[in-house]
A and B are shown apart, each in its own frame.
Chain A
């Protein structure tokens, strides 16, 4: 067998193992290891495999991941969601569907201290749905807006998915994080516009909430200051480069830690947050070294290059290929967790996308947005299950129906990203580093 054929056999083997339910880290490491051994012999191949976990994982760039994850877990103990939602409803309640719009805006704010979409959907199910139902909002809308609002967490920093993308494709973590802000806000605006249109057409969906005085409005602002502080720390550190992502993450985590203490978090809560952070961290690191072992083997086989060359010769315009890739992710996302999906596909898909002339940062944001859409689409749109889990009184079918307008808004947003790449690229381009 030529090394190229070994490479193809490896890809097929990996797909088979993953379909058989072998955990991605073992499947990827197994294929990578066996492939390296097949090409280099037992000692050189296995020897190389043995160095990869340690050498690939102990790189400074990756140390931002536990910090971002910790911010996310601590944020739940800091009581920030209630305050954010309270402020958002006082300021925005007057528009048609006001409480739903307030939910989107509060979720956008919370995304700035959370990188986990499902968890964000869970807390907002508890905070926002009762209020919306109390004011007679349509329960499909109430459930849908919470499930969709949760997905904003992965675009707006701190976002673990964006960091993982940056590491795998060897792009600047800072540039990707900065690039995530605007698309996150654009997504939130698209959701809000969708709500306002729907509620203006059918006032029964959700009535405006009026009667707050300016005094009440202003008094709701200080409660959101910690969030604003974290946003400023992370954004300005990345944008002006006065701290590394890890340092900014550490500062942000500390701010949230102090707020959580002030809000009554004790040893038990801290222990829980730390153990959960450690578990998620090791899960992500494991899959990273597993996949990088596989990538080393692919590189030896010359497969990504060959695939990229082949894609470029396809008699199709790049846009058609890009849409094809996005559809492929939509299908894959129905069966797989976002992290696994990204790590498994990027080593092969990314070089092809770059060969087609797309920007690495742009593609990162688009692909993470795809992962987010997968969180709200059937059959395993996890965010919808989460909403249904917190509110068993809202049947799953209602949640999935409630998601429809937001899915449409997401498709429009993606089309905007395709038509106007500058929505994504403008901010990082004005940065000090790119």
Chain B
């Protein structure tokens, strides 16, 4: 199934990437909306004595969007924090083996969290849980966790395949894995963000 040049992986990488970018765009849009909402809330309260009812409940529920939806996008770009000191000391097969190990840990954790996170959602759905103040239903917000994590799990699975391919054949060109960056490259990325 996996061709030598990793082109199958590349195809999956691109397709999954589109969904991830879309999810992250939704998260980004929610941040933008939160800005207007916060402004409306404070102006409404201070100037017209008319706060938006249920504002805090609504913000808390909507936070699940930008807290979770972009998690796979961030994983694809290698954005989650880690310590790379020892990873950078290794190269070739040992290096890719460490990446495989880290990805396996992540796959296990996220699998359990999808399962029990879905449980968490299901309970809220069946019981008709709602927020105390505005009585907004809680389940849509809770559903975002297993959904976002499922996408992340697919990304991790793809990365596992990609790292295994490199572990077996360390001389192959890396496909569908975030590039390990040197301090210079991280700096370059930071600089680009401010252009």
A contact residues vs B (CB 8 Å cutoff): 17-27, 29-30, 33, 46-47, 49-51, 53-54, 57-60, 62-63, 66-67, 70, 73, 76, 118-119, 122-123, 125-126, 242-243, 246-251, 253-254, 257, 271, 274-283, 285-287, 289, 335-337, 339-340, 380, 382, 385-386, 388-390
Query: Known pairs A20-B98, A58-B64. 11 more at Cβ < 8 A?
Result: A18-B83, A21-B102, A23-B102, A54-B117, A62-B63, A122-B193, A275-B28, A276-B193, A279-B74, A283-B80, A386-B187
CB pair B191–A390 under 8 Å, yes or no, is yes
8 Å CB contact of B39 from A47, A62, A250: A250
Instruction: Please name 6 pairs of A and B residues whose Cβ atoms are closer than 8 Å in the assembled complex, sorted by A.
Output: A24-B82, A26-B106, A66-B34, A250-B34, A386-B187, A389-B188
Q: How far, in whole Å, are A19 and B74 apart by their CA atoms in the complex?
A: 21
- Neighbouring A residues of B77 by C-beta, 8 Å: 279
8 Å CB contact of B102 from A22, A33, A285, A390: A22
Binary contact readout B98-138 vs A (1 if CB under 8 angstroms, 0 otherwise)? 11011001101110110111011000000000000000000
**Between A and B, how many residue pairs show CB distances below 8 Å?**
238
CB pair B66–A281 under 8 Å, yes or no, is yes
Main secondary structure of the interface of A (DSSP, over half): helix
CB pair B194–A76 under 8 Å, yes or no, is yes
Q: A58-B61, A254-B39 are in contact. Are A283 and B117 (CB under 8 A)?
A: no
CB pair B81–A66 under 8 Å, yes or no, is no
CB pair A254–B36 under 8 Å, yes or no, is yes
Task: Select from chain A the residue with minimum beta-carbon distance to B98.
Answer: A21
Main secondary structure of the interface of B (DSSP, over half): helix
Q: Among B1-9, B10-18, B84-92, B164-172, which stretch is in contact with chain A?
A: B84-92
Min CB gap B6→A, angstroms? 22
B contact residues vs A (CB 8 Å cutoff): 24-25, 27-29, 31-32, 34-39, 41-42, 46, 56, 59-61, 63-64, 66-71, 73-74, 77, 79-87, 98-99, 101-102, 105-106, 108-110, 112-113, 115-117, 119-120, 141-142, 145, 183-184, 186-188, 190-191, 193-195
8 Å CB contact of A281 from B56, B70, B117, B190: B70
Min CB gap A385→B, angstroms? 4
Q: How far, in whole Å, are A288 and B101 apart by their CA atoms in the complex?
A: 22
Min CB gap B151→A, angstroms? 12
Q: A23-B106, A24-B82 are in contact. Are A246 and B145 (CB under 8 A)?
A: no
In order of increasing CB-CB distance, the 6 nearest A-B pairs are: A50-B116, A250-B38, A282-B70, A385-B187, A274-B28, A21-B87
CB pair A49–B61 under 8 Å, yes or no, is no
CB pair A278–B66 under 8 Å, yes or no, is yes
- Neighbouring A residues of B87 by C-beta, 8 Å: 21
Q: A24-B80, A50-B115, A274-B29 are in contact. Are A253 and B68 (CB under 8 A)?
A: no
Min CB gap A52→B, angstroms? 9
